[in-house]
Amino acid sequence: MLGRKKRNDDEAGDLEGRIVAWRRHLHAHPELSYEEHETTDYVEARLRDLGLKPRRFELGTGLWCDVPAAKGAAATDVVGLRADIDALPMDEDSGLDFASTVEGVSHTCGHDGHTAMLLGAAEMLVADPPPRPVRLIFQPAEETMPGGALDCVREGAVEGVDRILALHCDPHRKVGEVGVTAGGITSSNAKLRLRVTGAGGHTARPHETQDVVHALATVAAGLPAVLSRRVDPRSGTVLTWGAISAGGEAPNVIPDSGELIGTLRSADRDVWAEVEPLVREAVDQLAAPYGVGVELEYTQGVPPVVNDDECADLAARAVESVLGPEGVGPAEQSSGGEDFAWYTEEIPGVYLRLGVWDGESDETDLHHPGFLLDEAALIHGARILDAFARLDRSGDARPAG
Ligand SMILES: [Zn+2]
Ligand SMILES: [Zn+2]
């Protein structure tokens, strides 16, 4: 197996070595969203080795697994820990000797590391049972819209869970530092697909046609402008088009249809929930004078992840217990989306940014073919997950209700 020869000593020995070996195996065998069958088998086998009883999601991939509390501990105040397990549809160009063995699929978002860290935490929690039950969620399909988390929530993954934590690799932060912030930490997204139709014709006589090209251009420029005046600019709302298409090669033919696709993001949960009618109204009114037919497909994506104050506090304590006070850093709200939001819509939660940059190499980015993570970060992550599960809320080990 690629890259595993060197790890034999570690695999037989310490937990850190095992986490690295699991991560390398997963890295070499990435699977796309909703197709994580072998990954799920691999995780399930490790958990069964620990004597746990994982339960696969009905959707076919991913699983959840309860770690029982220590003998005599109350079966309340359940903590959830979540790892995402899917890879991306892209080639890897990392130069690693355990690089992806699957053409066109690679772990360039670090979910292999997330999975291995949660397996490491499972081992720690079984070796030294926690003061409360812990639910481990190995979730499929984070890289889709609206995301596998929504399926997991619908299947009851967080029923009875009081709070939840997830870590994400941050390649712009040094190993040994973790970003912890209360409030918004990621942004919402929605996908827009606008199809415009009309009677095409000769460009010499546009008045006898319904000019879809001009109509599309008007909406492309006008809709972001309308939103900038109708939505509070402090909400960090941005509409960006990814593609515009209409017509063929002829400069003198007005086509009869065209399309515009893009994404609408916001740092504000209320905007995510309420902006769709405004978008529809603006599209209709911008296109109306052209007499064209307009069909807007608005696919609602994830809301922003909003870190709960108390959970962020607990997480900072967990990070501090592993890395010291200098390990706790601030984290800015990103404009990217993250389906962990579907859990935090249901229960309080916190999403952390785990530093994986070695401090020397050129910084790489997530979703980049050359993405690298320093494996020294993995044991930190596993210990933080374990520590968070052991912490009592505000000095109250058995909260009522
Ligand atoms: Zn990603
Ligand atoms: Zn990711």
Of residues 346, 304, 334, 302, the one with CA closest to residue 145: 302
259 vs 245: CA distance, rounded Å: 5
Q: CA 350, CA 386: separation in Å to the nearest integer?
A: 14
- The overall average pLDDT reported for the chain is 94
Distance 173 CA to ligand 2 centre (A): 15
Question: Helix, strand, coil % (nearest 5) of the chain?
Answer: 35, 25, 40
Encoding tokens for residue 398? 């058995």
Report the SS3 class of residue 241. strand
What Cα–Cα distance (Å) separates residue 273 from each residue in 130, 277, 302, 317? Answer: 38, 10, 10, 33
Determine the distance separating the centroid of ligand 2 and the alpha carbon of 168, expressed in angstroms.
Answer: 6
Cα–ligand 2 centroid distance for 37 (angstroms): 19
247 CA distance to ligand 2 centroid (A)?
37
**Cis previous bond, 146, omega within 30:** yes
Cα 64 to ligand 1 centroid, rounded to whole Å: 21
pLDDT at 395 over 70: no
The pTM for the full model equals: 0.89
d(CA 85, CA 119): 12
Lowest mean per-residue pLDDT among 4-18, 257-271, 305-319, 359-373: 4-18
CA distance 333 to 68: 34
Residue 87 pLDDT greater than 90, yes or no: yes
| Ligand of minimum distance to the alpha carbon of 90 | 1
Residues 284-293: tens digit of each pLDDT: 999 999 999 9
- Domains, the chain, in order of start with CATH, read 5-185+303-390 (3.40.630.10), 188-300 (3.30.70.360)
Of the listed ligands, the closest to the CA of 168 is: 2
Please answer whether residues 14 and 39 qualify as being in contact, where contact means their C-beta atoms are separated by less than 8 angstroms. no
- For residue 25, report the distance from its CA to the centre of ligand 1, in Å: 19
The span from the CA of 214 to the CA of 211, in Å, is 6
- CA of 24 relative to ligand 2 center, distance in Å: 17
- pLDDT-derived band at 393, boundaries 50, 70, 90: confident
Is residue 5's pLDDT more than 80? no
The answer to whether residue 303 scores a pLDDT higher than 70 is: yes
Residues with CB under 5 A from ligand 2 (ion): 109
Ligand 1 centroid–CA 203 distance in Å is: 44
Q: Among candidates 220, 222, 198, which has minimal Cα distance to 209?
A: 198
State the pLDDT confidence band at 13, using cuts at 50, 70 and 90.
low
CA of 227 relative to ligand 2 center, distance in Å = 29
Is the confidence at residue 161, as pLDDT, over 70?
Answer: yes
Q: Is the pLDDT of residue 353 over 50?
A: yes
